[in-house]
Homo-oligomer: A and B are copies of this chain.
Amino acid sequence: MVMYYSVSYMENDVLKGFKPLRQKIIPSDIRHALIDARKKRGWSQRDLASRLGIGQRHISGIESGKIVPRYDTLLEIVRTLGHDFILVPRDLVPLVQSLVRDHQKDQPGEGDERPLYAAEYDDDRPQEPHDEV
């Protein structure tokens, strides 16, 4: 959440000639959510890869953050794992995020996913750009 507001400030800086900080990585909460979803299905990376018709090496690279796939590739992974990406106006984000959290709280098998969704997001973000850049 805080992250979104900081991006807003960056937008204002852009108007003054500053370049935004390029992301260059999939947010770790998304990566973790996808790993969890895969494991909950009892699939290995090889299982998922063959379902998608792509190489296991890519699943590994994507999950670890070493590869940032094209949007279409990621979307297909996301959908294969029973999720979807929804384009949401920024001011709706908190509501939708909480909906998603509440929904997972209601799913016995997916309840464990909730803390990863929020906490890991804030924890991993400041660290991993350093590793990648």
Contacts and interface: CB of A to CB of B under 8 A. Distances in A.
Protomer copies: 2
A118 interface: no
Contacts of A110: 89
B51 A14 contact: yes
Interface of A: 4, 7, 11, 14-15, 19-20, 22-26, 29-30, 33, 50-53, 68-76, 78-80, 82-93, 95-97, 99-100, 103-104, 107, 110
A78 B33 CA distance: 21
- Max chain B Cβ within 10 angstroms of own Cβ: one of A26, A72, A91: A72
Given A4-B84, A84-B93, A91-B103, 5 more contacts: A7-B79, A30-B87, A84-B87, A86-B93, A95-B99
